[in-house]
Homo-oligomer: A and B are copies of this chain.
Amino acid sequence: MKFSPLFWPIQLKGNTLFILDETLLPQKLAYVKAKTYQEAAKAIKDMKTRAFGQVLLVFCIFLLVLKQNKDKKNIQPLFEKVARVINATRPTLPFKFLTDMVLGWAKTGDVERKINGFLEVLKEKRIQRAQEVAEIIQDKDIILTHCNVSGELALIAEFCRSQGKHIEFFVTETRPYLQGSRLTAWELNLAGFPVTIMTDGMVASIMSQGKITKVIVGADQLAQNGDIANKIGTYQIALVAQHFKIPFYVLCPPASSAKTGKDIKVEIRPDKELLEYQGIRLAPYGVKGFYPAFDITPSNLITQHFHLRIAR
């Protein structure tokens, strides 16, 4: 099975972290090099990597710190410092849950083996989940997606292809960062699947024409009641899908400590990211923008959650 470069976008080689720079895609496939945990945390804050890439990076940052420090027995204070830096990068994402896992392992010793073992299981479970999702996809399905599910949608499509199912994709461009066109359309096209880009405003129009049979999106955070936080724009796709009775599937991370979507703090990003694109001003000067990076889709709009089957 082939993997999208987005499926495992972080590599630790020697004392350097290679972080796939998603902001340069689709024009350029390049990696940011981080030699310190501060540099790596900055790559999260600057959204060089996102979603699964950020989760992966959190663990790899600790592996980097371990490599750079010989005194592994007294690593705890340093690990706590690293965790604080990571947790401060982006408020919506449940990084604390991840850093707490690592801090817990560090207390019991042999943390390097535990992190590596966890990442191995993580890879395996993501592959299993892609297989699981592929099972519910039928020949000739036309799948709408939003933003990017970090290589997992391309893998789902690979499984469908190996099962002889022909499927195609509509991808919202996903303003303002255009992850849909820059990443998802790119990786699906790279793997040879038919994909059409649309704007975020076309969902109702395209669904009303019967062009979409299923929606599949990811989630940045899962609350305990099944509500999800995902890229801004997800909620209205779910509402419109319900109107047209189109099933809406979500690939979820493990649940966070949030009881419901109301407990999830949504990050507000600088409005410049919405009002400019690659140095070109899109909007008039003097007008402000509002850019919540995520929205909350209530569980009752979700047909099925696909969980990562990782023991807690």
CA separation between A7 and B255, bound complex, in Å? 52
- Is B236 touching A203 in the complex (CB atoms < 8 A)? yes
- Is B185 touching A232 in the complex (CB atoms < 8 A)? no
- Is B236 touching A204 in the complex (CB atoms < 8 A)? yes
Chain B contacts of A208 at CB under 8 A?
235, 295-296
- Is A200 touching B175 in the complex (CB atoms < 8 A)? yes
Given contacts A27-B281, A182-B283, A292-B205, contact A200 B199 (CB under 8 A): yes
Told that A176-B199, A200-B201 touch, could you supply 17 new A-B pairs with CB distance under 8 A? A172-B201, A173-B283, A175-B199, A181-B282, A181-B283, A181-B287, A185-B283, A189-B284, A190-B284, A197-B283, A197-B290, A199-B291, A201-B232, A202-B295, A204-B235, A236-B236, A236-B240
CA separation between A158 and B4, bound complex, in Å? 53
Q: Which residues A117-150 have CB closer than 8 A to chain B?
A: 146
> A217-246 CB contact bits vs B (8 Å, 1 = yes)?
000000000000000110110011001000
Determine which of B26, B146, B205, B282 lies in contact with A283 in the assembled complex, contact meaning CB atoms within 8 Å: B26
> A259-300 CB contact bits vs B (8 Å, 1 = yes)?
000000000000100110110111111111111100110000
Flag whether A40 is at the interface (Cβ < 8 A): no
Flag whether A82 is at the interface (Cβ < 8 A): no
CA separation between A284 and B170, bound complex, in Å? 14
CA separation between A185 and B288, bound complex, in Å? 9
Copies of this chain per assembly? 2
Determine which of B175, B185, B280 lies in contact with A284 in the assembled complex, contact meaning CB atoms within 8 Å: B185
- Is A284 touching B196 in the complex (CB atoms < 8 A)? no
Flag whether A191 is at the interface (Cβ < 8 A): no
- Is B201 touching A275 in the complex (CB atoms < 8 A)? no
CA separation between A26 and B276, bound complex, in Å? 13
Q: Which residue of B lies closest to A278 (CB)?
A: B280
CA separation between A173 and B281, bound complex, in Å? 13
Q: List 23 A-B contacts (CB under 8 A).
A: A26-B284, A173-B175, A173-B283, A175-B199, A175-B200, A175-B201, A178-B283, A181-B284, A181-B287, A182-B282, A182-B283, A185-B283, A189-B284, A190-B284, A197-B289, A199-B233, A199-B291, A202-B295, A204-B239, A204-B295, A239-B239, A239-B240, A280-B280
